[in-house]
C-alpha cells in the first residue's frame, strides 16, 4: 500500500514533472524528473534520465546511466540494468487480463499473476517497442523499432518484428 507521501510525489510528478520539456532542451527538467524518480522508484543508479511524458511506478529499478524515453510506460516490477537506451513510446507490461475461462466474460476474470521484466545491461530499445510480462532481455541486445517481445531474448541479439525475431547476434558481426 502506498504511503501518503508516495501518493503526493506521484501526483506532483504526474501534474508537473512529466510535462517539463525534454532533457536535451532544458537540463533543469532532467534534474527535476530525476528527483521524482529517485523518490518514487524502488531504486535508481547514478546519471539516470527520465524523459518528458514517461510513466512509471514504485516497482521500477533503473540502474546507472540508463533512461526512460519520451512518453514511455512502464507498469509493474521492471528491472532496468546499466547503460540502457530507451527510445520514445516504449511500453513494458508485467501483467495481463485473465482469459482462460470461457464460461464467463474476460472482463470478469481479473488479471493474471504479475510477471517481472528484466532488461539487462547495455541494451538499446527502439521506438515503440512493446515488452510483455515475464520477458528477460539479454545483455547487449538491440530491439528494433516496433518490435513486440513475448519471449526471452538471448544476449547480444539484434531483434526485430512482431512477433520478435532474432536476426543477428552482435558477437557474430565482423569488426571493421
Asked if residues 95 and 114 have their Cβ atoms less than 8 Å apart, the reply is: yes
Q: Which three cell numbers stand for residue 55?
A: 510513466
How confident is the chain (176 residues) per 10-residue block, as mean pLDDT? 81 88 84 94 96 95 98 95 98 93 92 96 98 98 98 97 96 70
Is 19 considered catalytic here? Answer: no
Tell me the C-alpha distance between 151 and 154, whole Å.
Answer: 10
Tell me the C-alpha distance between 11 and 2, whole Å.
Answer: 12
Give the fold, CATH level 3, of 53-171. UDP N-Acetylglucosamine Acyltransferase; domain 1 (2.160.10)
**153: phi then psi, degrees, rounded to nearest 5:** -115, 125
* Per-residue pLDDT, 175: 59
Q: Which three cell numbers stand for residue 98?
A: 485473465
* Per-residue pLDDT, 174: 59
Which residue among the candidates 19, 25, 75, 97 is catalytic per the annotation? 97
Domains of the chain: which residue ranges? 53-171
What is the 8-class DSSP label of residue 153? B
Amino acid at each position: 500500500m502506498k504511503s501518503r507521501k508516495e501518493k503526493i510525489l506521484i501526483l506532483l510528478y504526474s501534474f508537473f514533472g512529466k510535462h517539463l520539456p525534454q532533457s536535451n532542451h532544458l537540463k533543469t527538467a532532467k534534474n527535476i524528473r530525476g528527483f521524482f524518480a529517485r523518490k518514487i522508484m524502488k531504486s535508481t543508479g547514478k546519471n539516470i534520465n527520465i524523459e518528458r511524458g514517461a510513466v512509471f511506478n514504485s516497482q521500477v529499478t533503473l540502474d546507472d546511466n540508463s533512461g526512460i524515453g519520451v512518453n514511455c510506460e512502464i507498469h509493474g516490477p521492471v528491472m532496468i540494468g546499466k547503460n540502457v537506451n530507451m527510445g520514445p513510446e516504449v511500453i513494458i507490461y508485467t501483467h495481463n487480463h485473465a482469459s482462460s475461462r470461457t464460461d464467463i466474460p474476460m472482463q470478469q476474470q481479473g488479471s493474471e499473476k504479475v510477471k517481472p521484466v528484466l532488461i539487462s545491461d547495455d541494451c538499446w530499445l527502439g521506438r515503440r517497442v512493446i515488452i510483455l510480462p515475464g520477458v528477460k532481455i539479454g545483455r547487449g541486445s538491440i530491439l528494433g523499432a516496433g518490435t513486440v517481445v513475448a519471449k526471452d531474448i538471448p544476449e547480444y541479439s539484434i531483434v526485430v518484428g512482431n512477433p520478435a525475431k532474432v536476426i543477428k547476434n552482435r558477437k557474430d558481426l565482423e569488426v571493421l
